[in-house]
Chains A and B, each alone.
Chain A
Amino acid sequence: MVQRVGIDFGTTNSLISVITRAGLAKCFDDTGRPHPSVVRYEGEQVICGKKARDKLEKLGIGVLGNTVRGPKKLLGSEHINVDGRIMTPVEVIADYIKYLVADADDSDIDQIADLTRAVVTIPVALDGRGRQTLREAMLNAGVYVETFVHEPLAALYGYFKDQPNTRDVLAYYDGKMVLVFDWGGGTLDLTLCKIVNGSIVQVLNRGNNLVGGDYLDDAILSHVTDEHARKFGWSAESKLPTNPGMRAKLITQCEQAKITLSTRDKTNIFLPNYFQGTDEESEIDIWLTRETLESICNRLINQGIDEIDSLLDKADVDPQTLALCLATGGMVNMPVIKNKLTEKFGVSALHISEKGDRIISEGAAWIAHDNLELALAKPFELAEARNSLLTVIHEGTRLPQRGESIQKQQSMYCSDPRDGKAIFTFKRPQMVQKSAAADPRTNYGSLVVEVNPDFPPLEERIELTITIDDNLILHARAMAEDFREPAVEEYYDLEFSLVVKKAADDPIEKKNRLRQAVKKSGPAQLFVRANVTNDKDRWDTVPGELLKDYNAKYVYLQKPMTRVQNEEDVRYQPCSGCGAKWKKNCCTAGSVTG
């Protein structure tokens, strides 16, 4: 039986892997290295991978003349201009994936891999549109995406599978927090996970596209050329032009220097004929020390390390309590980063992956091999009026695979239709397994639906449909039955769990509604107050002054008012003493105090 593959479609490098029957990973690489994510168009010819990279003249990510470096970065674009040729990201990515698949097919002499079906890794920050584009491009290249999985999650699973006994390791880490730190050439991705009952559950994700290793190489190159210019006293005008093709070589030297300085204190960057000329000025001969390198990289590295702090702060987790910090990607081998990570997490918790350039791809292949399912890590909740929380999709819900989707429908009523807007606010608990009323929540966002303002409260029905598609994007669609103006929102920052050990379904029906505790401490700020409920008889959710009007208008349908509603009503009344609008202690006769 041929095995589905795992594809790591990275910004700088990409790799296809498969797990063989021997339980070992086979990577379809290019002479021991992942394929550079570079596509070059020369007339009708499409050149990809190492050959395309070696011809690169310019630095950076994106469209570089007739070459696209890191096509993943183009996922959000509509059209791109590649040397005068207007293309779509789908076309460019499909060209690159075709190359990867063809190369793998050539290498796969024994036909052990099913290159038409794949688990594909994506960065945590890839939005819904990007996922759709990627799926389309994969399909155009003849690859069906079975499921998307976040890169750090794949890396962590790959790490666990590399251990002698995965189950034992998972059992050891059960209930503990794990940080995956993937610092590659293009991006820094962070995922905080918790191992819960044998499942790897994402707690919080964070990504930064501006601290990738490529920026570091760029900084080193600038430093080297600046040093050279300083050595020969060049000004901006007297600067010699660069020989064609030499920047790529210098970049390679800079990369090499970065690696050399991880074991040595100083290294030399020597590149003859870099500049146009004949004498010594044309060749670069610069000595670079580890201190210099660290000073060059310091700002960038600190930014990266700060991302860890921000993530842990947000999740309210002490770095010392992490059971494991798995560091992958090319950057983490830099001594300065190693030191900083060791200092933060301790020697025992920090694990720097030896196969940082392939662990994500292998992890994806393992997920494909083990046929793992993704589940929702945290419940998807809807905030109702009066701070109730209604769970629309429970945590642990299996997420759809290729060609599937899950849908939940909920009828809601607007308790305050006076402004013609019903507000749906979607939330999730900040931590996994912490979905009690008092636990802190994170907002997904709000969906504002137009309703008929002339309707009485709790009268017009609003149909809310929540759909999660196979791109793991959540679509929230709501429409008032009378006003019939649909409102749609998409949320792609769902957190997932990788279900390694399938637990028996919990027979106890989970509680659907919680009353959220309102945090009164902290700075005062504006926030959107939800004004919907799923219960037509929840008259306590209607604002007091509105219910008062309603009771006056519909004498025979009067509803009792709660204490809070009475207070709300009174607040909108002019002061009986001075006739002014409500104000704290407005006059001695003030009837209500705040």
Chain B
Amino acid sequence: MTGIENEIAEPKSNDTEKPKQSKAEPKSVEQILTEAFAITTDKDQNIKPASVTKADLKSLMTYQQDTRLSSELADSITAAACKTDPELKVLSLITLAAFKCQRDVLRHELMAFCVRLASSLWIQRHRGSLDLYRDIMDADKGLDSSPLTFLRNAITEQYRKRIDSVGRQASEAPSPSTSNAEAKEPTALDVLSKKELAAQRNNILLIGALWLMAQGKTDLNAAIEFFSGLLNEQTSPTQSPRAVAVFLAEQYANQDSLLADTIDYFKKQFTELAGQQKFLQSKHNAQEVELKVLQTEVVKQITAIADKDQQIARLMGEVEQLKLAQHEQQLDERATRTHLRDNAGQAKAKAFNLLTEDVLEPLKLSLAALQREKPKTEVAVHQIELAVESIERDIKWFSE
């Protein structure tokens, strides 16, 4: 909860004169603004937080005159707001009212004033910027889904660093020294706790979103989502359906149609999302079915590839075996050829040796023996016998 509701002051008994005065003479815009942030003290001399009445807010919304708000006013209010509205709760209410302002020029003036005030109060106020949002948005290169997202991210990041540093400081130095406190009196803005900083961040974001809407730089749906996100942070930890029911009854009793519109918007959104979800679910189911089909196909293909691989390996093996067999066959053929040639060679050698050594030589010798004056027939006969024996022996060999 940002606690904005608490900042809208109800008419109090000791301020009974104020409404009378307003009835008589309506407050000017400057007055409303000055009063809202004015420094007042209670009986214990404590500074009261800034507050604005519903009537003042309504006045701002329905103000009928264009007014220019001076920079001096802004400076003076800034000086007061530093102490009375460090969390920018009231400023966010005023910004909302300004956004609802019916007069364009006044609305523009009020928005500019609120932005300037916010720029003077937020954590990076030392930069002296008059429009922190414009400065931030100047750095937007359109990389985020929407300008609002960019703005939210940029601001959140800057606050995160500060919150972290505050957390570290708190753990390191739980109590600041007296001398330091005396040396420089810190403003309310300087001593914001983590929680306060978070509240300030949310209000800065709220004002920023309104600024973007006023600039026409954001989609309304995105804005609704953004604001509902902010609202989400205010969800009560002890949610009471009864309180919700009563609240809705009150809204009905007040005949405020905005809540009904809001609920209707979200219902439509929900219906649309449900339809979209249904569509996506069916699409998802269809894709899953398709995926399964494809997976089955992949498995089938992998099996087929494995089969083919096996087949290839088997065929390669067969090819290798055939090659080996062919090689072996060639070697066998070579061996057979060698032996055939060897057999032929042996037969040739046998025939040659028979003729030259066992036949020709004895015949020559027989001839020589017969050619003598006294033919040596016995020698010739012996040699011829030897030749015949050799021929007979070898004929046996040849026939085998």
Contact across chains for A29 and B349 when beta carbons are under 8 A apart: yes
Q: Which of B334, B341, B368, B383 has the most CB of A within 10 A?
A: B334
Assess the B376–A110 pair: CB atoms within 8 A: no
- Give Cα A263 to B390, complex, Å: 12
A353 at the interface (CB under 8 A from B): no
Complexed CA–CA distance, A267 and B386 (Å): 9
> Does the CB pair B342–A110 fall under 8 Å?
no
> Given the complex, which residues of B lie within 8 Å of A260, measured CB to CB?
386
* Proximity string of chain A (334-346) to chain B, C-beta cutoff 8 Å, 1 when within and 0 when not: 0000000000000
Residues of chain A within 8 A (CB-CB) of B349 are: 29, 31-33
Minimum Cβ distance to chain B for residue A444 (Å): 44
Stretch at the interface among A20-28, A80-88, A480-488: A20-28
Given the known interface contacts A33-B353, A109-B341, the answer about A268 and B383 at a Cβ–Cβ threshold of 8 Å is yes
Closest chain-A Cβ to B194's Cβ sits at a distance in Å of: 86
Q: Give the shortest distance, in Å, between A589 (CB) and chain B (any CB).
A: 88
**Beyond A1-B331, A29-B349, is A110–B338 a contact (Cβ under 8 Å)?**
yes
Interface residues of A in 28-70 (CB under 8 A from B): 29, 31-33
Q: Does A136 sit at the interface, judged by CB under 8 A?
A: no
Question: Which residues 93-108 in A have Cβ within 8 Å of B in the complex?
Answer: 107-108
**By the criterion CB–CB under 8 Å, are B335 and A270 in contact?**
no
Q: Is the CB of B338 within 8 A of A267?
A: no
Which residues of A240-275 are within 8 A (CB) of B?
260, 263, 267-268, 270-272
Question: CA separation between A270 and B369, bound complex, in Å?
Answer: 8
A568 within 8 A of B: no
CA distance A272 to B366 in the complex (A): 11
Q: Which of A29, A267, A268, A271 has its CB near the most chain B CB atoms (within 10 A)?
A: A268
Pick from B332, B365, B383, B386: contact of A21, CB under 8 Å: B332
Asked if A112 lies at the interface with its beta carbon under 8 angstroms from chain B, I say yes
Known contacts A31-B353, A32-B349: A26-B339 contact under CB 8 Å: yes
A493 contacts across to B, CB distance below 8 A:
none
Whether the Cβ atoms of B350 and A270 lie closer than 8 Å is: no
Q: Is B165 an interface residue (CB 8 A)?
A: no
In the complex, per-residue mask of A262-297: 1 if CB is within 8 Å of any chain B CB, else 0 = 010001101110000000100101000000000000
**For A20, what are the chain B residues with a Cβ–Cβ distance below 8 Å?**
335, 338-339
Contact mask for chain B residues 322-363; partner A; CB cutoff 8 A; 1 contact, 0 none:
000000000110111111011001101110110000000000
Q: Which residues of A in the span 305-342 have a Cβ within 8 Å of any Cβ on B?
A: none
Task: Using known A-B contacts A31-B349, A272-B368, determine if residue A285 contacts B338 with beta carbons closer than 8 Å.
Answer: no
Q: How many A-B residue pairs have CB under 8 A?
A: 65
How far apart are A254's CB and chain B's nearest CB, in angstroms?
14
Are A22 and B382 neighbours in the complex by a CB distance under 8 Å? no
B223: Cβ under 8 A from any A Cβ = no
- Complex Cα–Cα for A26 and B345 (A): 11
**A280 CA to B365 CA in the complex, in Å?**
14
Chain A contacts for B386, CB-based, 8 A: 260, 267
Q: Are A26 and B338 in contact (CB under 8 A)?
A: yes
Contacts of A270 in B (CB 8 A): 365, 368-369, 376, 379, 383
Name the A residues within 8 Å of B338 (CB-CB): 20, 26, 108-110, 112
With A22-B339, A31-B353 as given contacts, are A268 and B331 in contact (CB-CB < 8 Å)? no
The smallest beta-carbon distance between A143 and chain B, in angstroms, is: 20
| CB interface residues, A 444-499, toward B, < 8 Å | none
Distance from B329 Cβ to chain A, minimum over Cβ atoms (Å):
10
Judge whether A32 and B353 touch: CB under 8 Å. Answer: yes
Distance between Cα atoms of A272 and B371 in the complex (Å): 11
Question: How many whole Å from A172's CB to the nearest CB in chain B?
Answer: 28
Known: A32-B346, A267-B382, A285-B379. A112 touches B353 (CB 8 A): no
- Whether B368 contacts A112 by the Cβ 8 Å rule is no
Given the complex, which residues of B lie within 8 Å of A280, measured CB to CB? 372
Which partner residue on chain B sits nearest A27 by CB separation?
A: B342
A108 to B345, CA, bound (A): 12
CB distance from B183 to the nearest CB of A (A): 97
Tell me how far the C-beta of A285 lies from the nearest C-beta in chain B, rounded to whole angstroms.
6
Identify the closest chain B residue to A280 (Cβ). Answer: B372
Query: In angstroms, how far is the closest chain B Cβ from the Cβ of A4?
Result: 15
In the docked arrangement, what's the CA distance between A20 and B343, Å? 14
Contact B331 A21 (CB under 8 A): yes
Residues from chain B with Cβ under 8 Å of A111 in the complex: 334
Say yes or no: B376 contacts A112, CB within 8 Å: no
In the complex, A21→B329 CA distance in Å?
10
Nearest CB of chain A from residue B357's CB, rounded to whole Å: 8
Could you say which of B338, B368, B376, B382 has the most chain A C-beta atoms within 10 Å of its C-beta?
B338
Q: Enumerate chain A residues within 8 angstroms of B352, measured Cβ to Cβ.
A: 31-32
- Residues in chain A near residue B348, CB distance under 8 A: 31
Complex Cα–Cα for A112 and B379 (A): 48
Closest to B371 in A: A272
For residue B341, which residues in chain A have a CB less than 8 angstroms away from its CB? 109
Does B365 lie within 8 Å of A112, measured CB to CB?
no
Q: Report the separation of the CA atoms of residues A20 and B331 in the bound assembly, to the nearest whole angstrom.
A: 9
**Given A29-B349, A272-B368, do A24 and B339 touch, yes or no (CB 8 Å)?**
yes
CA distance A290 to B302 in the complex (A): 90
Identify which of B335, B365, B369, B389 contacts A22 (C-beta below 8 A).
B335
The reply to whether B334 and A110 contact each other, CB–CB distance below 8 Å, is yes
B342 and A26 contact, CB distance less than 8 A: yes
Within the complex, the shortest CB–CB distance from B316 to chain A, in Å, comes to 23
A21 with B335: in contact, given A270-B369, A270-B379, A272-B368 (CB under 8 Å)? yes
- Are B350 and A32 neighbours in the complex by a CB distance under 8 Å? yes
- Closest Cβ–Cβ distance, residue A59 to chain B (whole Å): 20
Q: How far is the CA of A107 from the CA of B379 in the complex (A)?
A: 40
**What is the chain A residue whose CB lies nearest that of B347?**
A32
Question: In the complex, A109 Cα to B346 Cα: how many Å?
Answer: 16
Q: How far is the CB of B392 from chain A (nearest CB, A)?
A: 12
Instruction: Tell me which residues across on chain B come within 8 A of A263, comparing CB atoms.
Output: 389
Of chain B, the residue at the smallest CB distance from A113 is B338
Chain A positions within 8 Å of B350 at CB level: 32
Task: Please indicate the chain B residues that have their CB under 8 angstroms from the CB of A24 in the complex.
Answer: 335, 339
B336 touches A22 (CB 8 A): yes
Contacts of A109 in B (CB 8 A): 337-338, 341
Q: Which residues of A contact B365 (CB under 8 A)?
A: 270-272
* With contact pairs A31-B349, A32-B353, A270-B365 given, residues A112 and B383 touching in the complex (Cβ less than 8 Å): no
Q: How far is the CA of A120 from the CA of B166 in the complex (A)?
A: 101
Residues of B within 8 A of A107 (CB): 345
**Contacting residues, chain A, for B389 (C-beta < 8 A):** 263
Q: How distant is the Cα of A272 from the Cα of B331 in the complex, in angstroms?
A: 52
Q: B114-136: which residues lie under 8 A (CB-CB) from chain A?
A: none
Query: A493–B194 Cα gap in the complex (Å)?
Result: 108
Name the B residues within 8 Å of A285 (CB-CB). Answer: 369, 376, 379
Residue of A nearest to B336 (CB): A22
Which of A112, A267, A271 is close to B334, meaning CB atoms less than 8 Å apart? A112
28 sample A-B contacts, Cβ–Cβ < 8 Å, listed by A number: A1-B331, A20-B335, A22-B332, A22-B335, A22-B339, A24-B335, A26-B338, A26-B339, A26-B342, A31-B353, A107-B345, A109-B341, A110-B335, A110-B337, A112-B335, A112-B338, A260-B386, A267-B382, A268-B378, A268-B379, A270-B365, A270-B368, A270-B376, A270-B379, A270-B383, A271-B365, A283-B368, A285-B369
Residues of chain B having any CB pair with chain A under 8 Å:
331-332, 334-339, 341-342, 345-346, 348-350, 352-353, 365, 368-369, 372, 376, 378-379, 382-383, 386, 389
Q: Which 5 A-B pairs have the closest CB atoms?
A: A32-B349, A20-B335, A31-B349, A110-B334, A21-B335
Taking A31-B349, A260-B386 as given, write out 13 further A-B residue pairs in contact, using a Cβ cutoff of 8 Å, ordered by the A residue number.
Answer: A22-B332, A22-B336, A24-B339, A32-B345, A32-B350, A33-B353, A111-B334, A112-B334, A267-B382, A267-B386, A268-B382, A270-B369, A270-B379
